[in-house]
Amino acid sequence: MSNKVSVQVAVNVPLSMTFTYLADKPLPIGCRVRVPFRGGEQTGVVVDDQQSADVPAHKLKHVESCLDEIPPLPADFLELIRFTAQYYRHPIGQALFAALPGPLRRPQPARWPDERGWQLTLAAHDTEGPPPRQKARHALWHALAEPLAYQQAKAITPQAPALLKQWLAEGLVERVDAEPPLVVAEGPTLNDEQAAAVEAVAGSFGSFAPWLLNGITGSGKTEVYLRLIERVLAAGQQVLVLVPEINLTPQLVERFARRFPATPLAALHSGLADGERLAGWLAAWRGSAGIVIGTRLAAFTPLARVGLIIVDEEHDGSFKQQDELRYHARDLAVWRARQAGVPIVLGSATPSLESVANVEAGRYRELSLTRRAHGAAALPTVRLIDIRRQKLLDGLAEPAIAALRKRVERKELSLVYVNRRGYAPVIACTECGWLSGCPHCSSRLVWHVTDRRLHCHHCGYHEAPPRACPDCGNSDLKPMGQGTQRIEEALIALLPGARVLRIDRDTVGRKDAWEAIYRKVHGGEVDVLIGTQMLAKGHDFPALSLVLVLNADGGLYSADFRASERLFAQLSQVAGRAGRADTPGEVLVQTQWPEHPLYQALVAHDVAGFAAQQLAERREAGFPPAAFQVAVRADARTLEEASAFLDAAAALAEPPEGVTLAGPAPALMMRLANRERAHLLVESPQRVRLHTFLDDWLPRLAGLQQAHRQVRWSIDVDPQDF
């Protein structure tokens, strides 16, 4: 008994503690283990070798040896997890397991993927090989004279995996160690601003330095990333690139792979199968993937030799996870850059007010790209169409229709941007004004033509539309507002012969849908694109010359203090899609409030002015980034139950000077999936004070659950949505 050792193990359970087990020999910190847990079995990770004092040794269960053939999880990864759990107030085990790829959460051993390359065998050199008319085979065969990595082979032909397998079986190729060379395809000559940005960041390699790359849409930020990546790869290091949307990943991956055709690249996003994700994750950890690109979860990927971190579209809301582990990937990326002692580049055309404030405070340094990069491309002209003085045809004003017609005639591409968040097509009664509402949420049901049903976009409930108004019996029910599907129908009727392509969550559900869309758009097979927010971000469609914005007004007068910032960013982004190459761009915005300062700033392309005005308002009101917030959210069957819990929580608080509690208040979306939601806000101008207060207060809340059994509650640090 005496030679046993005890270890601390993190397990995937909702408890803010680790568990003590006995082992026959010391187990390295970071190794995955299989542990008995409450009558079952769990995967665990050894996080410490300290004996906890309060459990007598004879009561401890045993843990067997490490599961894996791979080494223990690295110390800097565990440190990141510890920080994340602590800062975002999440159980350590759950934070850890959320960051691991699926297969590593299960108690099965993992091994390194085979990353060797392929080369022709001696025997193969004596054969003829595929004839030149079999182009792809021929090209692959000849490339195999030298060691070829998987990625290089796949770049030659998509049939490579099958061919390599076949040739391996026939003894024509063999597996060899292949150190991929750094091959860099040619890029454009940088303009002065781009070159200055590259030099500035490169000058900070080897130490922590946060940079805000503030560049207007189309100013060539991606090109700046590519040049920096080139230097990092040349120094034998890795780059981590975070992007907001899974849709953007294929486009960027392709651009990176074209520039660095031989560099192994790991793309990590939620659309991957478990095995693919694990392989990419391990390649990143081992250091064999030179470029690691992914959505927010990729912020946790261990990297053996990171030299630079890039966060593209840093202002984007999707970097914040809204449930379970509510982390902000951009903020964690900055923490990681500091931990690793490397620079981080936050890129955006509409930087978040948080980053703008960090520049003002001297914490970040700013690099500006003020001109469009491509030849003569200029920012588009933005015009407002005052719809108070226009007759609308299916939601479209006459000048808007005329502008679309002109583009179709000239064979130029147009984009109709429908801000569905503002107004979705609901079914309304023309007599009494009844609107189709969800029985479970305080949201409207949205009419879908595809299945001819009403859908709740919040809880997923759907139903057939009523034949007559449930309130007054009138049988004349009409769709109100313009969703993408309704606009599509209208445009097909208004622009005969035009090729219209609608892009929204309903049409891009499939994994490869985006690639098909790109092929169509770039192949000149589309005249008018219709889309929601997902079309606004980062896409580069050179032929696009007109952007028409519908329904944006909904964001002007929202109860959410971030709504204006988001709307401005979205509209700048979508406007920035126009006129990126040789065709000058025009943006038309239909609005009832043309004099609103937000639209005036949009017309003037005054990003900095708008940010300054917003920042002043936030400071005035004591909102972030002038203050830090933590939300305690609660939901229950009734608002009273939820509020009673929050009242009880507030009663346990003894906030020190400089920390205030506000609420409880109902959430903006008060009812969701049959639960009513409210929150309590804790605020302070000083982050440290806020967190010191939480350290004292949050542990006391655990005792409340007993008296409020029906209430579910959670902590959201730096909340983004209310």
Ligand X SMILES: Nc1ncnc2c1ncn2[C@@H]1O[C@H](COP(=O)(O)OP(=O)(O)OP(=O)(O)O)[C@@H](O)[C@H]1O
- Residue 129 found at the interface with ligand X (CB under 6 A): no
Q: Give the nearer residue to ligand X in terms of CB position, either 320 or 580.
A: 580
The span from the CA of 211 to the CA of 200, in Å, is: 9
Tell me if 441 is assigned to a ligand binding site.
yes
- Residue 538 found at the interface with ligand X (CB under 6 A): yes
Q: Which of 9, 104, 373, 598 binds ligand X (CB under 6 A)?
A: 373
Burial track 519-548 (b if 16+ CB lie within 10 A, e otherwise)? eebeeeebbbbbbbbbbbbbbbbbbbbbbb
DSSP character string of 394-444: TTEEHHHHHHHHHHHHTT-EEEEEE-TTT---EEEETTT--B-B-SSSSSB
- Residue 214 found at the interface with ligand X (CB under 6 A): no
The owner of tokens 């101008």 is 685
Q: Give the nearer residue to Zn ion in terms of CB position, either 440 or 689.
A: 440
What is the smallest separation between the CB atom of 542 and ligand X, expressed in angstroms? 7
Residue pair 570/551 in contact by the 8 Å Cβ criterion: no
The span from the CA of 586 to the CA of 572, in Å, is: 13
Candidate ranges 188-196, 278-286, 395-403, 595-603; the one touching ligand X (CB under 6 A): 188-196
Burial class (CB in 10 A: 0-12, 13-18, 19+), 389: exposed
Tell me if 432 is assigned to a ligand binding site.
yes
What is the smallest separation between the CB atom of 241 and ligand X, expressed in angstroms? 12
Q: Which of 188, 206, 236, 658 binds ligand X (CB under 6 A)?
A: 188
Q: Provide the sign of the torsion angle of the four alpha carbons 419, 422, 428, 433, taken in this order.
A: negative
Q: Which of residues 215-234 bind ligand X (CB under 6 A)?
A: 215, 217-223
Tell me if 66 is assigned to a ligand binding site.
no
In terms of Cα–Cα distance, which of 569, 224, 227, 232 is closest to 367?
224
Cα atoms in the Cβ-side hemisphere of radius 13 Å centred on 698 = 23
Beta bridge partners of 550: 418
What is the smallest separation between the CB atom of 458 and Zn ion, expressed in angstroms? 5
Interface with ligand X: number of residues (CB under 6 A): 20
Tell me if 469 is assigned to a ligand binding site.
yes
What is the smallest separation between the CB atom of 308 and ligand X, expressed in angstroms? 16
Tell me if 429 is assigned to a ligand binding site.
yes
- Residue 576 found at the interface with ligand X (CB under 6 A): yes
What is the smallest separation between the CB atom of 213 and ligand X, expressed in angstroms? 9
Question: DSSP H helical segments within 468-511, as ranges?
Answer: 484-494
- Residue 540 found at the interface with ligand X (CB under 6 A): yes
Contact pattern from residue 518 through residue 537 relative to ligand X, giving x for each residue in contact according to CB under 6 A and a dash for the rest: --------------------
The owner of tokens 């990171």 is 306
What is the smallest separation between the CB atom of 504 and Zn ion, expressed in angstroms? 19
In terms of Cα–Cα distance, which of 136, 126, 141 is closest to 173?
141
Q: Which of residues 431-490 bind Zn ion (CB under 5 A)?
A: 438, 440-441, 456, 458-459, 461
Cβ neighbours around 566 below 10 Å, total: 20
Candidate ranges 211-219, 256-264, 291-299, 403-411; the one touching ligand X (CB under 6 A): 211-219
Edge-to-edge, what's the strand order for the sheet holding 306-312?
265-268, 291-294, 238-242, 306-312, 343-348, 209-215, 365-369
Cβ neighbours around 258 below 10 Å, total: 12
What is the smallest separation between the CB atom of 604 and ligand X, expressed in angstroms? 18
Burial track 155-178 (b if 16+ CB lie within 10 A, e otherwise)? bbbeebeebbeebeeeebbbeeeb
Residue 215 binds which one of ligand X, Zn ion, none, with CB within 5 to 8 A depending on kind?
Answer: ligand X
Contact pattern from residue 343 through residue 362 relative to ligand X, giving x for each residue in contact according to CB under 6 A and a dash for the rest: ------x-------------
Residue 220 binds which one of ligand X, Zn ion, none, with CB within 5 to 8 A depending on kind?
Answer: ligand X
Q: Give the nearer residue to ligand X in terms of CB position, either 242 or 627.
A: 242
- Residue 585 found at the interface with ligand X (CB under 6 A): no
Residues near Zn ion (CB under 5 A):
438, 440-441, 456, 458-459, 461
Task: Return binding residues for Zn(2+).
Answer: 429, 432, 438, 441, 456, 459, 469, 472
Question: Where does this chain bind ligand X (CB under 6 A)?
Answer: 188-191, 194, 215, 217-223, 349, 373-374, 538, 540, 576, 580
